[in-house]
């Protein structure tokens, strides 16, 4: 029996445009399909519709799913984007037992299901492990196991790879490949399709709630076609100098093991590192948020930096920068740092207008940041750290949650910074940049050390 | 100095205060109801004690339970460090208000605060989600027991969020450090830059969590079964 969607349309309550428009498709057992497209194209809404989790709104069309084969199962399992916030319990075993417990399954059967589900995702023997100690990839696989234990026939995954590095994506692909061979119907909603290309049978490309094409090969990434201003000649003093930086934790051992790093004025640098390689720890040490065991940091002319001294001189965007937003308007949000620096009002207005224009969100100046889409919020957070024309901009995993077009636009904005403001840019991410050639230098953080990617 | 710091870091055994530790110990093996009752009794005693001897005995019992649970001195420091600083401030305030003669009442009050809290820390560090939910569900509907436990379970998550938000806002120039709060003009930063984003995160996380729980059948049946950790262990051995 197939998953069959016929002429499905859906409009959220109060929305003027439909989120889904005339969607029709059929997916058979053992098939893996991927709905792809820019943010807001309707792929997550479609997964919620298949799951039957849309509340209110107006819906037409039909979704037929394979009927229940016996009690004690949830026919459609869904794994949401953020594994961290869907893990309810403290240990892996309890987490996987959560669904069958909800279905009132007898104890002995729950134990069997837990063991099978953990084995399916390669986490056998982890029943007693504290989930806090799991890597991002393990958490994602645990989230899948916690759905598999309800014996679904259909598995929906909403952007499962957004938090994962290359190795974790490969592990996830292998897990999904195994599930596919076991006869599961797998439906992915994903921007980053290349890691799963080996297991995806069909690609449904969506735009504005509609399926615009169905492909058997992955669509070409659009971000790669962008151009950037030529790199500057770097003659000035370095804006960042790190020498022999060591930092360790007992639970992970040494994270930074003698990092040496220099970023010149107006330089664009990309630092590549897997999950857990220490990128965030390095950034925290650079900003004075984590005290290194050994080594020195000089940032924007400040030795032993502390956060309060860096405001306005160094811009920092951590993972999910949207959580720093609080103001009632975008204008207010972007002017915050400038006001705290005590700059004159007229200067503030000019700098805010410049930052908004540079980030291409001048039209949002009067809007409330918290009502904007994720991509727009991301841009507001960027403008808020750029307004003071910092000498260095540090970005930790800035592409998480952005679609390919947004990633390309972000790189375009960042690429112009050295020429316009002389700002150096250091991006840390677990993926290669969506636009090859953007960075003046590619570095790799591995085994606690930074090395040049060219060797 | 640096070498000493590196040595201290080697002793870190938990990532945050009150983190559940997957050891096997006599305290871990006690039922959640027993632990809750004993903990409540110990906390009540912490309020009642008056003499140094009583305080010492209670301190010995509380620490005995803590270390019997195979928790480490570092865990103890993680769990109580805020209270230790608070205790120093309380004792200093006593002495400042009433002179050196009030040193002992200051120490007693500070120690009582720590002793009141410590059994709760032991409970959280030694009790699994499912055990607590099973225990609570005997006396209250399982939906409410879930709500209660998830509220507690996500406290460390929100503490980490708070730390992340605080770091980002300090780098934007927000005056939110403890020492900044001596100036009342900075209090609005504390609200706008910390409380508002944290509330937004809390609401978003609650929505994601409830969506995840619902999608896994939570609330579908009137009753709920409990596998229990022993049941899971049996399957793991097969």
Helix-helix angle A404-421:A345-358, to 10 degrees: 130
pLDDT at res. B116: 94
Query: Quick one: what percent of chain A has pLDDT higher than 90?
Result: 56
Query: Do A309 and A335 touch, CB atoms closer than 8 A?
Result: no
| A53–B211 C-beta distance less than 8 A | yes
User: How many alpha carbons lie under 13 Å from residue A48 in its C-beta half-sphere?
Assistant: 22
Q: Is A384 on the interface with B (CB under 8 A)?
A: yes
A225-241 b/e (C-beta count within 10 Å ≥ 16 → b): ebebeebbeeeeebbbb
| A248–B6 C-beta distance less than 8 A | yes
pLDDT at res. B78: 86
Query: Do A86 and B208 touch, CB atoms closer than 8 A?
Result: yes
The total of other beta-carbon atoms located within 10 Å of residue B97's CB is: 9
pLDDT at res. B11: 62
The rounded Cα B143 to chain-centroid distance in angstroms is: 23
pLDDT at res. A234: 59
Give the model's confidence band at A258: pLDDT under 50 very low, under 70 low, under 90 confident, else very high.
Answer: very high
Distance between CA A245 and CA A250 in Å, rounded? Answer: 17
The beta-carbon neighbor of B153 closest among A90, A111, A115 is A90
Task: Annotate A180-223 with DSSP letters as a single string.
Answer: HHTT-EEEEE-S--GGGTTT--EEEEEETTEEEEEESSPPPPSG
H helices of B11-154, where? 26-29, 32-48, 52-68, 73-98, 103-126, 129-137, 142-153
Which residues touch A77 (CB under 8 Å, ≥6 apart)? A147, A148, A150, A152, A154, A155, A156, B215, B216
- List all residues of chain B from 198 to 227 with a beta carbon under 8 Å from chain A: 200-201, 204-205, 208-209, 211-221, 223-227
Distance between CA A174 and CA A157 in Å, rounded? Answer: 15
Task: Annotate A328-348 with DSSP letters as a single string.
Answer: SSHHHHHHHHHHHTT--HHHH
- List all residues of chain A from 76 to 115 with a beta carbon under 8 Å from chain B: 77-78, 80, 82, 84-86, 88-91, 93-94, 97-108, 110-112, 114-115
By three-state DSSP, how is residue A20 classified? strand
Please write the tens of the pLDDT for every residue from A70-123.
667 888 999 998 888 888 888 899 999 999 999 988 888 999 999 999 988 888
Q: Quick check: A50 pLDDT over 70?
A: yes
Q: Is B196 on the interface with A (CB under 8 A)?
A: yes
The pTM score is 0.79
By three-state DSSP, how is residue B185 classified? helix
What is the arithmetic mean of pLDDT over A135-144?
Answer: 86
pLDDT at res. A224: 56
Interface with chain B: mutation pick from A139, A281, A307, A341, highest number of B CBs within 10 Å = A307
Distance between CA B137 and CA B160 in Å, rounded? Answer: 29
pLDDT at res. B22: 79
| A–B CB contacts, 8 A cutoff, strictly below | 211
Give the model's confidence band at A236: pLDDT under 50 very low, under 70 low, under 90 confident, else very high.
Answer: low
Query: Do A186 and A179 touch, CB atoms closer than 8 A?
Result: yes
> For residue A400, which of A375, A425, A365 has the smallest C-alpha distance?
A375
> For residue A157, which of A143, A139, A137, A136 has the smallest C-alpha distance?
A143
Give the model's confidence band at A124: pLDDT under 50 very low, under 70 low, under 90 confident, else very high.
Answer: confident
Reading the block at residue A56, the tokens are 């209110």
Which conformational region is residue A213 in: left (phi greater than 0), alpha (psi within -120 to 50 degrees), or beta?
Answer: beta
Q: Phi then psi for B5, rounded to 5 degrees?
A: -60, -40
Q: Phi then psi for A62, rounded to 5 degrees?
A: -135, 155
pLDDT at res. A223: 56
User: How many alpha carbons lie under 13 Å from residue A279 in its C-beta half-sphere?
Assistant: 25
Give the model's confidence band at A176: pLDDT under 50 very low, under 70 low, under 90 confident, else very high.
Answer: very high
By three-state DSSP, how is residue B188 classified? helix
Q: Is A290 on the interface with B (CB under 8 A)?
A: no
Q: Quick check: A421 pLDDT over 60?
A: yes
Please write the tens of the pLDDT for every residue from A348-400.
999 999 999 999 999 999 999 988 888 899 999 999 999 999 999 999 999 88
Query: Do B44 and B117 touch, CB atoms closer than 8 A?
Result: no
pLDDT at res. A362: 94
B40 vs chain A: nearest CA distance in angstroms? 23
pLDDT at res. A405: 86
pLDDT at res. A58: 93
> For residue A94, which of B156, B149, B67, B220 has the smallest C-alpha distance?
B149
Query: Do A124 and A118 touch, CB atoms closer than 8 A?
Result: yes
By three-state DSSP, how is residue A425 classified? strand
Query: What average pLDDT does chain A have?
Result: 89
Q: What is the CA radius of gyration of chain B?
A: 21
Which residues touch B98 (CB under 8 Å, ≥6 apart)? none
Contacts of A249 in chain B (CB under 8 A): 9, 12
Which conformational region is residue B99 in: left (phi greater than 0), alpha (psi within -120 to 50 degrees), or beta?
Answer: left
Q: Which helix (H) or strand (E) holds A287?
A: none
pLDDT at res. A240: 95
pLDDT at res. B102: 83
Regions in chain B scoring below 50 on pLDDT: 1, 8, 233-238
pLDDT at res. A339: 94
Interface with chain A: mutation pick from B73, B171, B194, highest number of A CBs within 10 Å = B171
| Closest residue, chain A, to B192 (C-alpha) | A326
Distance between CA B8 and CA A186 in Å, rounded? Answer: 48
Please write the tens of the pLDDT for every residue from A26-47.
999 999 999 998 888 999 999 9
Distance between CA B118 and CA A203 in Å, rounded? Answer: 55
Q: Is A196 on the interface with B (CB under 8 A)?
A: no
For residue A390, the 8-state DSSP code is -
Query: Do A228 and A415 touch, CB atoms closer than 8 A?
Result: yes
pLDDT at res. A320: 82
Classify the C-alpha dihedral A356-A362-A366-A372 as positive or negative.
negative
Query: Do B209 and B218 touch, CB atoms closer than 8 A?
Result: no
pLDDT at res. B124: 87
The total of other beta-carbon atoms located within 10 Å of residue A173's CB is: 18
Contacts of B214 in chain A (CB under 8 A): 53
B171-199 b/e (C-beta count within 10 Å ≥ 16 → b): bbbbbbeeebeeeeebeebbebbbebbbe
Reading the block at residue A150, the tokens are 């309800």
A4 to A104, A209, A287: CA distances (angstroms): 29, 17, 52
Place of tokens 């709060």: B181
pLDDT at res. B1: 43
Query: Do A403 and A35 touch, CB atoms closer than 8 A?
Result: no
By three-state DSSP, how is residue B198 classified? helix
> For residue A62, which of A101, A12, A24, A112 has the smallest C-alpha distance?
A24
């Amino acid at each position: 029996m197939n998953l069959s969607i016929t002429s499905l349309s859906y409009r959220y309550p109060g929305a003027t445009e439909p989120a889904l428009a005339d969607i029709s498709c059929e997916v058979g057992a053992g098939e893996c399909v991927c709905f792809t497209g820019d943010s807001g194209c309707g792929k997550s809404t479609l997964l919620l519709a298949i799951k039957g989790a849309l509340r209110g709104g107006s819906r037409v069309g039909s979704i037929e799913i394979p009927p229940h084969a016996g009690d004690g199962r949830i026919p459609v399992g869904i794994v949401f984007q953020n594994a961290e916030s869907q893990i309810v319990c403290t240990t892996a075993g309890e987490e996987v037992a959560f669904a069958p417990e909800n279905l009132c399954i007898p104890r002995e059967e729950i134990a069997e299901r837990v063991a099978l589900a953990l084995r399916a995702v390669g986490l056998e023997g982890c029943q007693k492990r504290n989930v806090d100690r799991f890597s991002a990839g393990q958490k994602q696989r645990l989230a899948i196991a916690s759905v598999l234990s309800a014996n679904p026939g259909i598995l929906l995954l909403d952007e499962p790879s957004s938090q994962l590095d290359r190795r974790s994506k490969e592990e996830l692909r292998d897990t999904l490949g195994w599930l596919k061979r076991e006869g599961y119907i797998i439906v992915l909603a994903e921007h980053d399709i290349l890691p799963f290309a080996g297991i995806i049978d069909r690609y449904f490309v969506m735009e504005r709630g509609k399926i615009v094409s169905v492909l058997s090969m992955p669509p070409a990434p659009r971000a790669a076609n962008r151009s950037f201003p030529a790199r500057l000649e770097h003659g000035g003093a370095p804006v960042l100098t790190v020498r022999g930086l060591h930092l360790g934790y007992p639970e992970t051992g040494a994270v930074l093991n003698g990092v040496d790093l220099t970023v010149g004025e107006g330089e664009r640098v990309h630092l590549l590192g897997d999950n857990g390689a220490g990128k965030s720890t390095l950034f925290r040490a650079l900003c004075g948020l984590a005290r290194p065991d050994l080594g020195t940091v000089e940032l924007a002319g400040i030795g032993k930096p502390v956060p309060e001294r860096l405001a306005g001189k160094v811009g920092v965007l951590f993972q999910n920068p949207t959580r720093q937003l609080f103001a009632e308007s975008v204008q207010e949000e972007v002017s915050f740092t400038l006001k705290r620096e005590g700059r004159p009002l007229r200067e503030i207005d000019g700098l805010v207008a410049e930052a908004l224009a540079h980030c291409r969100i001048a039209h949002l100046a009067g809007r409330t940041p918290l009502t904007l889409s994720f991509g727009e919020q991301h841009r507001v957070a960027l403008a808020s750290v750029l307004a003071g024309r910092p000498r260095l901009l540090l970005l930790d995993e800035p592409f998480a949650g952005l679609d390919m077009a947004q990633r390309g636009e972000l790189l375009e904005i960042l690429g112009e910074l050295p020429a316009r403001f002389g700002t150096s840019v250091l991006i840390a991410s677990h993926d290669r940049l969506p636009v090859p050639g953007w960075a003046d230098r590619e570095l790799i953080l591995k085994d606690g050390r930074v090395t040049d990617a060219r060797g | 100095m640096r070498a000493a710091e590196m040595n201290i870091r080697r002793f870190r055994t938990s990532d945050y205060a009150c983190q559940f530790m997957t050891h096997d110990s006599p305290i871990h093996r006690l039922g959640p109801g027993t632990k809750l009752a004993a903990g409540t009794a110990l906390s009540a005693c912490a309020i009642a004690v008056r003499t140094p001897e009583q305080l010492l005995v209670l301190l010995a019992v509380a620490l005995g339970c803590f270390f019997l649970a195979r928790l480490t001195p570092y865990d103890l420091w993680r769990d109580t460090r805020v209270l230790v600083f608070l205790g120093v401030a309380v004792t200093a305030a006593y002495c400042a208000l009433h002179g050196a003669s009030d040193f002992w009442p200051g120490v007693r009050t500070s120690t009582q605060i720590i002793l009141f809290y410590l059994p709760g820390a032991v409970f959280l560090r030694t009790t699994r989600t499912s055990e607590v939910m099973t225990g609570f569900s005997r006396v209250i509907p399982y939906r409410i027991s879930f709500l209660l436990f998830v509220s507690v379970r996500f406290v460390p998550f929100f503490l980490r969020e708070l730390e992340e938000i605080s770091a980002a806002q300090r780098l934007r120039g927000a005056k939110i450090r403890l020492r900044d709060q001596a100036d009342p003009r900075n209090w609005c930063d504390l609200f706008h830059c910390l409380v508002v984003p944290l509330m937004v995160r809390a609401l978003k996380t609650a929505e994601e969590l409830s969506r995840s729980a619902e999608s896994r059948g939570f609330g579908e049946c009137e009753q709920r079964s409990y596998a229990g950790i022993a049941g899971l262990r049996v399957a793991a051995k097969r």
